[in-house]
Amino acid sequence: MGHRKTSAPRHGSLGVRPRKRAEDLTPRVKSWPEKSWIDLLVEKYGEEASKKGITAKPVLLAYPVYKAGMTHALVVEDRPNTPFTGKERFTPITVLDAPPVVVIGLRTYTRDYTGALKPLGEVWTSPVDAVIKAVEDFYGSNPLWSLKPEGVVRKYLSGLRKVNHGLVKPDPSGEFGFKFVAESSEEDVKKVLSGDIVDIRAIVTTIPVLAGFGKKKCEILEVKIHGSSIEERLKYASSIWGKYITPFDVFVEGQYVDVIGVTKGHGFQGVIKRFGVKELPRWHKHRKGSRKVGARSPAFTYSMSEVPQPGQMGFHRRTEYNKRIIRIGRNGYEATVKGGFLHYGLVYGPYILVKGSLIGPPKRLLVLRHPIRPNLKFIPLSAPQVVYLSLESKQGA
């Protein structure tokens, strides 16, 4: 070791081992919060929250979005007891494209003899009418949008078939060229939505045709429905089954969310870039040891190696906690920079502005979830004031 210090803190968290590639670009939400953000607002503010139309109600706990790009804004700081409270601050902003999603299925759960959740059954319904209505409500009046509702449905069903062949079958003589064939009977609906139910989830699909980068293959996610009682959740699930959901139905402006997704991939990298370990000096007798990991022994069978080594860097499934929503908008042109976002394009419909940067490259699907470990010292009732939002071109950035 020479004159180098005899001890050093280890590099790289062992909690995210193994650092391997994500299995799927569509992340599965593994944990759900016990309380939604709306519950936290009602508990803290009570009547003040109800005056703003915020009342305790069943709600989906997550929503899928696409990362479009970044810009910046001047935002009035509303956090108390900071040096910048009440002042305008330069704030980096991530723009998320949030097209409506369709609830095509419901899945109920019961408990087995060990107390673990066990699927009780699932029911499906056709999403065609919901997709047509979503296009008419949010994209019909957009002068930049040229695709008709029938064309959106045709591409949507084609993309849904690529994900699950059992839901959609070709129908050359039909209006859309494909047909949704997984319709559940009334008898199945009664069987699945009754009995000893302890949890209910919504099976939602994205409509990527409505995004700004022309993707066709849909994503299917299972989202937990939160509510005070199982009867309320079943009633809410029946009301949204076969209909579209927007970010306005899931989130409140100013709230915090957790962001789940797959990070940007960097391929195979060395030990210094991958873990940030110190590079030893190179001189006549030490040049062969530069950028090397050193001794790995002793090695034990079936044990995880704690020594930093070269390997895959990035393209990992990760969760970012407590990112704040600054604004939820209806018309994407309000947040689209001149010339469109690099590597993405234009945002046509609903969008979400989040403070700070988020994981993943443009076009990456991210899942926004109600915070599972929120900061209870600061639960804002409303969003901060946005004084200026930069829409200047990023082409030269």
Note whether residue 16 is domain-resident: no
Measure the CA–CA gap between 211 and 208, rounded to whole angstroms: 5
Specify the amino acid at residue 52: K
Of 210, 245, 280, which residue is a domain's last? Answer: 245
Q: Looking at the domain assignment, is residue 140 inside a domain?
A: yes
Residues 122 and 223 in one domain: yes
Is the Cβ–Cβ distance between 208 and 345 less than 8 Å?
Answer: no
- Chain mean position to CA 229: 26
Residue 26 lies in a domain: yes
- pTM listed for this prediction: 0.94
Q: Where are the alpha helices (DSSP H) in the chain?
A: 37-45, 47-51, 128-138, 149-163, 186-192, 230-240, 271-275
Residue 12 confidence (pLDDT): 85
- How far is Cα of residue 27 from the mean position of the Cα atoms in its chain? 8
Q: Where is the domain boundary, 230, 245, 260?
A: 245
The whole-number average pLDDT for the span 330-340 is 94
Q: How many domains does the chain have?
A: 2
Rg of the chain in Å (alpha carbons): 24
Q: Give the residue with greater pLDDT, 337 vs 309.
A: 337
132 and 185 belong to one structural domain: yes
Residue 65 half-sphere exposure toward CB, CA atoms < 13 A: 35
Q: Look up the CATH number of the domain holding residue 140.
A: 3.30.1430.10
Distance of CA 243 to the CA centre of its chain: 20
Same domain for 107 and 239, yes or no, is yes
- Based on the domain organization, do 120 and 94 belong to the same domain? no
**Does 82 share its domain with 214?**
no
Q: Are residues 209 and 318 located together in one domain of the fold?
A: no
What is the DSSP code string of 107-148? Answer: EEEEE-TTS-EEEEEEEE---HHHHHHHHHHHTTT-TT----
Q: Do residues 135 and 235 both lie within one domain? A: yes
- Residues 111 and 84 grouped into a single domain: no
Q: Look at residue 197 and tell me if it is in a domain.
A: yes
138-191 residue pLDDT tens: 998 888 898 999 999 999 999 999 999 999 999 999 899 999 999 999 999 999
Band of the pLDDT at 285, cuts 50, 70, 90? confident
pLDDT score for 291: 80
Strand, helix or coil for residue 203: strand
Domain contains 383: yes
Q: Which helix (H) or strand (E) is 205 found in, with range?
A: strand 199-205
Which tens digit of pLDDT belongs to each residue from 101-135? 999 999 999 999 998 999 999 999 999 999 999 99
pLDDT of residue 4: 57
Whether 397 is covered by a domain: the verdict is no
* Higher-confidence position of 390 and 280: 390
Residue 218 sits in the same domain as residue 264: no
CATH code at position 317? 2.40.30.10
Return the percent helix, strand and coil in the chain, to nearest 5: 20, 30, 55
Task: Band the pLDDT of 397: cuts 50, 70, 90.
Answer: low
Residue 281 lies in a domain: no
Mean pLDDT, residues 307-336: 95
Whether pLDDT at 1 is above 60:
no
**H/E element, 351:** strand 351-355
Do 92 and 105 lie in one domain? The reply is no
Residue 277 has pLDDT above 80, yes or no: yes
Q: What tokens does 168 get?
A: 């959609």
Share of the chain above pLDDT 70, in %: 97
pLDDT of res. 154: 95
Range(s) of the domain holding residue 27: 21-98+252-268+313-391
Task: Find the angle CA(24)-CA(28)-CA(33) to the nearest 5 degrees.
Answer: 160
Cα–Cα distance, 280 to 277 (Å, whole number): 9
Report, as an integer, the average pLDDT of 71-92: 96
Reduced 3-state DSSP string for 279-316 = CCCCCCCCHHHCCCCCCCCCCCCCCCCCCCCCEECCCC
Same-domain check for residues 146 and 234: yes
pLDDT for position 278? 80
Task: Provide mean pLDDT across the span 353-377.
Answer: 97
pLDDT tens per residue across span 196-215: 999 999 999 999 999 988 88
155 in the same domain as 93: no
In a domain, 298, yes or no: no
